[in-house]
Structure 1
Amino acid sequence: MIALPPLLAGFLGTVGLAFIIGLELHAYRRRGEAALEPRAQGFGTTRTITLIASLGFVLWVIAPVTPFCVGLGVLGLALMLDYRKRVRAGDASLVPTVIGLIAYALGPLILTAPLAVIAALAVLVLLVLGEQVQIRRFSDAFPTEEGVTLAKFLVLAGLVYPLLPSTSVPHLAGITWAKIWAAVLVISGISYLGYLAHRYLFPRAGTLLTGVLGGLYSSTAATVVLARSVRAEPQAVAFAPAAVIIATAMMYARLLALIVLLGHMDAALALTLPFGGLFVASLAVAGALAWRARGAQTRMHAPVSSNPLDLPVAFLFAALFLLFAAVTQFVTAHFGAAGLHILSFAVGFSDIDPFILSLLDGRFSVSAGAVTGAVLIASASNNLLKAVYAMLFSRNRQMLPAAGWLCVTAAISFALALG
């Protein structure tokens, strides 16, 4: 295989990528002009973008400081004059201007940046140009309050988290302030992605999809929502038991993902077999129930749960994390593994995520096997709670298969933890 010289390979890559971007920009301009009166194409042709990229590459090779910066200044002035002309003609879009600057920087980027960064930039540019209508629809539909909440989350992730010390919380060995906030950010991020998918990508999701998406942010909340919907719409009960089981299956996947993302690989390996087995078995049971219900009404108007990224919820999670860590420290110090198992069973009837993550982060006077068993017990008692919720809020005997399977998974988890 013939290897091209680095400069030649970089130049060809710059020209090829600029040509593709130019084609997409040309199509973008044509779509914009189709809605207005015909006029000259102006800046933004494929040839122009390709030549700008070539110029940037050549000037960077000559000298990456003075010639390149002078060329950038001249290009910026030309783009400013072009923008002024387009504004007078009724076209105030900055997209062609920004694309021109990006094209000029393609050469230095290809010569110096990792391939993944170049690919990410190319994908971003092509998506922005090619999905103009879809992006506009999403922008119009995106509520203001969602943007404010997301902005607060980014502040907490980008400003607060870096400022937190990596020192341990007093009297809680192994648990640092940074670890607590990292857990808050990770679980809130995963939950928020599931919430956004449910609310905006699949707002009219069928019953089974409601179970999948709901389980991503809270299998307990999803069970309550599905059970209440069954009571409100008894005719749509056919797929509800399968959806409840799917939500619990997603709980196992979500917990494993959280444990891996937060770096607890030993615990993840220990829980892969039990959680993975319960995940697969739950999907199989849900599939059997869905197959039995085929042909019935598949749509259920289940409301979307509240935004899980609300800041009070994040602070509550952090407070529960600290509380469970302190309680676990006391219980394990005075009652050992037996006390931890009892505590895990009790905590399962509340929010198990902060308990499980605090349990894995801390250094308690029990073995790693006892910690893994406590995670299984907490998930088991949480399934018992969901079984009660499924029957209590639906008041429908057709939910019995879901409640029964949740009890079976709880029994299996108890057996694995105590066996």
Structure 2
Amino acid sequence: MEIMEVSQRLGLALAIGMLVGIERGWQEREAAPGKRTAGIRTFGLSGFLGGLTGFLDLTLGPILPAAIFTMFGVAFIVFNRYEAEHEQDYSVTGVIAAFTVFILGVLATVSDMTVAGAGGVAVTALLAARQPLHRFLRNLSWLELRAALMLLVMTVVALPLLPNRTIDPWNSVNPFQLWLLTIMIAAISYVGYLAIRIAGPRHGIILGGAAGGFISSTAVTLSFARLSSGNTQTTHSLAAGASIAGALSIGRVLVISGILAPILVPQLAVAFIPVILVFLAAGFLMTRQVEGDGNTVDISQGNPFELLTVLRFGALLGAVTLVSKIMIDQIGVSAIFPVALFSGLADLDAITLSTTRMAGSILTTEVATTAILLAAAVNLVTKMVLAVLFGSRAYALAFSIATLVALAVGAATYFGFHGIA
């Protein structure tokens, strides 16, 4: 190793230590000189010592470097303990940071300098994010944490175990792809839930409807319909929340289609964008009619997604995929339409995922687009029926008008565009 390279590597080891030391020193900048176990100089020297230890390992073998690291660790722990007893602060972060700096210093001399430098920046960023991370943990509920862990288990543990091939005689159900699509829907729901969760400190009807649009707009419409019977002063807010949920559910179909079958987006957007705009406009107009001083109802959407809900969705998606393929093989591509109509009664995601996977191969672009539009129309009508059956008269009237106008505008735009084309 040439002297220039040696200087560069030792300089990087020193720079890593000083970078972490700047953050550590800034955190304890109010302490008097000599009252801190480690600051910019100590961490800088720790990184440099790690770099020297790495060179010793290259020239003399591992025994002396191991002894140096042991002595360094013991000394740092002892001095940190004295400081902890004096300050009554028993955080072990400083010790772990010092060990990490030492190891990164070693890495800078014996391995890839880019990896060592990136590691130093990442460690410093993590240490500097102490307050935001602690605030995030304080605000994180157990249900949200459990949902995040469940999503990780679904992705990291369960997904690699599934076979990436079809397992049925009709060559339609691929467990790996099926579960991957299920994870995608769960992730979209979770991200949307968190986005609304962060948007405000309290859960009102409008935010509750928006959050529900990422999870299940049908469930939101039914829940708000039941609430409207006993909350006459919040009827317009409840109808506005249901309208916003409907807009976001249609928007979600566009996003899914854009990810899996971008070729469908131009035709779907012609019908769906007007529907989304009408629902958003209706929601805005209805919020302006809210009586009183902005009464709200605490609408808890609960967990972003439950395991049983995810499993049921996966089963529904598999069933729709299987039935669609069998009917198409037996009857022809027109069989996708009754499947779409039936599926749209309860859910839009399953038929959207199933159809987009077949678009361009089994199904033409026109057939796939029509199937998704039919499912969306049936789903909107279903939610309107739920509002009429279970909601107050004012809630049902407001939501039904918004839905009928959205359907009419979307249909007129779609057929008008195709008529011109």
**TM-score, structure 1 as length reference:** 0.78
2:219 corresponds to which of 221, 235, 239: 221
Residue 375 in structure 1 maps to residue 368 in structure 2:
no
**Equivalent-residue separation in structure 2 for 1:372 and 1:82 (angstroms):** 66
Cα shift readout 1:115-174 (whole Å, capped 9, x = no counterpart): 9887655543321x2336514524xx633x654554344223212211212112324445
Q: 1:221 to 1:84 in 2, by over 3 A?
A: farther
1:235 corresponds to which of 226, 233, 236: 233
2:76 corresponds to which of 67, 82, 93: 82
SS at match of 1:328: helix
The aligned residue for residue 302 of structure 1 is 298
Residue 357 in structure 1 maps to residue 353 in structure 2:
yes
2:403 corresponds to which of 395, 400, 406: 406
Structure 1 counterpart of 2:280, one-letter code: L
Count of aligned pairs? 403
**Equivalent-residue separation in structure 2 for 1:54 and 1:321 (angstroms):** 57
Deviation at 1:194, TM superposition (A): 3.5
Structure 2 counterpart of 1:307, one-letter code: N
The aligned residue for residue 326 of structure 1 is 322
Deviation at 1:410, TM superposition (A): 3.2
Larger radius of gyration: 2
Residue 194 in structure 1 maps to residue 192 in structure 2:
yes
Deviation at 1:304, TM superposition (A): 1.8
Deviation at 1:324, TM superposition (A): 0.6
SS at match of 1:165: coil
**Identity of matched residues, %:** 22
- Larger mean CA deviation between 214-223 and 169-178 belongs to 169-178
Confirm or deny: 8 A CA contact 1:352 1:379 kept in the other structure.
Answer: yes
Deviation at 1:399, TM superposition (A): 5.0
Q: 1:246 to 1:132 in 2, by over 3 A?
A: closer
Q: Which runs of 5+ in 2 are unaligned?
A: none
Q: 1:371 to 1:119 in 2, by over 3 A?
A: farther
SS at match of 1:205: coil
**Equivalent-residue separation in structure 1 for 2:180 and 2:133 (angstroms):** 35
Confirm or deny: 8 A CA contact 2:166 2:173 kept in the other structure.
Answer: yes
Residue 271 in structure 1 maps to residue 268 in structure 2:
yes
2:113 corresponds to which of 111, 114, 126: 111
- Any residues of structure 2 matched to 1:252-271 within 5 Å, and which? 252-261=250-259, 263-271=260-268
1:389 corresponds to which of 376, 379, 386: 386
2:39 corresponds to which of 38, 42, 45: 45
Structure 1 counterpart of 2:296, one-letter code: M
Deviation at 1:203, TM superposition (A): 6.1
The aligned residue for residue 158 of structure 1 is 156
**Equivalent-residue separation in structure 2 for 1:268 and 1:120 (angstroms):** 39
Confirm or deny: 8 A CA contact 1:317 1:354 kept in the other structure.
Answer: yes
Residue 137 in structure 1 maps to residue 135 in structure 2:
no
**Equivalent-residue separation in structure 1 for 2:60 and 2:43 (angstroms):** 19
**Equivalent-residue separation in structure 2 for 1:375 and 1:114 (angstroms):** 50
**Equivalent-residue separation in structure 1 for 2:257 and 2:316 (angstroms):** 17
Deviation at 1:185, TM superposition (A): 1.0
Deviation at 1:323, TM superposition (A): 0.8
Deviation at 1:312, TM superposition (A): 1.8
Confirm or deny: 8 A CA contact 1:252 1:275 kept in the other structure.
Answer: yes
Q: 1:273 to 1:72 in 2, by over 3 A?
A: farther
Structure 1 counterpart of 2:138, one-letter code: R
Confirm or deny: 8 A CA contact 1:207 1:299 kept in the other structure.
Answer: no
Q: 1:152 to 1:412 in 2, by over 3 A?
A: same
Structure 2 counterpart of 1:222, one-letter code: V
Cα shift readout 1:176-222 (whole Å, capped 9, x = no counterpart): 21110101111112223334555687562233222222211222222
Q: 1:209 to 1:91 in 2, by over 3 A?
A: same
Cα shift readout 1:331-390 (whole Å, capped 9, x = no counterpart): 333444543223312221112212221222247743221112111111121111222233
**TM-score, structure 2 as length reference:** 0.78
